[in-house]
Amino acid sequence: MKKIISTKEAPGAIGPYSQAIESNGMLFISGQVPIDPKTGKVVEGGIREQTLQVMKNIGSILKEAGYSFGDVVKSTCLLSDMANFAAMNEVYAEFYKSDPPARAAYGVVKLPLGVLIEIETIAIKS
C-alpha cells in the first residue's frame, strides 16, 4: 500500500507527481529544486545557496513522513554544470556527517525553472 506524503514546508509539486510516496517502510522523495516554500520562488545565490535549500526541502519531507537524514540510503543529484560539483558536495556533506547514503551525480543539460541543482532521495525505516 502506498501513502502520499505532502508538507507545506517544502515546495508543492509543479507537475503531475507527489512530493513523496511511502510504501513498505520506504520513502521515495521526488526531485527537489531550490524553491523556498514560503515565497514559492527559486532562492537567490549560487550553487551553495541552492543546494542548502534543496536539502532543507528534503529534510522537511523526511520529517513529515517520520524519517530523518539518517534513514536516507540513496540520493541522485542532478547538476546543470559539473563545475558546481565540489561546492555542492561541501553543502551536501553537512547533512550526512557519518554513514552517508549511496549517491549518483549527473551533469544534465537543463533543469526545471533554470535551477542549478535537483536532488531525489530514497529513505528506509531502520
Three-class secondary structure of residue 21 per DSSP: strand
**Interatomic CA distance for residues 58 and 61, integer angstroms:** 5
What pTM value is reported for the model?
Answer: 0.96
Mean pLDDT of 37-66: 97
Domain ranges in the chain are 2-124
* CATH architecture for the domain at 2-124: 2-Layer Sandwich (3.30)
Query: Grid coordinates 551553495 are at which residue?
Result: 48
Q: What is the pLDDT of residues 90-109, one digit of tens each?
A: 999 999 999 999 999 999 99
**Interatomic CA distance for residues 82 and 105, integer angstroms:** 9
Q: What is the pLDDT of residues 69-94, one digit of tens each?
A: 999 999 999 999 999 999 999 999 99
